[in-house]
Amino acid sequence: RAHCGSIVNLTSTRARQSEADTEAYAASKGGLMALTHALAISLGPEIRVNAVSPGWIDARDPSLRRAEPLSETDHAQHPAGRVGTVEDVAAMVAWLLS
């Protein structure tokens, strides 16, 4: 059985750690996590199905990130020691698709 493709869904930690007034977002990301699991069972091993579930991502323009950096307290809340960036997420998705 040959590997024929790869699917990567973007979910969110909000699916499991919601906050006030994010019900629709949390529910949609939770549903996408369930869909990812179901597709992996149905399509594997020919098609790999993964999800990337980032936490807080600093999605601001890189020039704004440099001009107005986040605080050390913001960065310290994350296991990696810093808030993630869109480039981090893109690199992970590219790796999973390779």
Q: What sign results for the dihedral spanned by CA atoms 55, 60, 63, 67?
A: negative
The Cα–Cα gap between 90 and 51 comes to 12
Output the CA angle 31-37-38, nearest 5 degrees. Answer: 85
89 is catalytic: no
- Among the listed residues 7, 9, 25, 54, the single catalytic one is 25
Per the structure block, which two tokens stand in for 64?
Answer: 């704004």
**Active-site annotation, residues:** 25
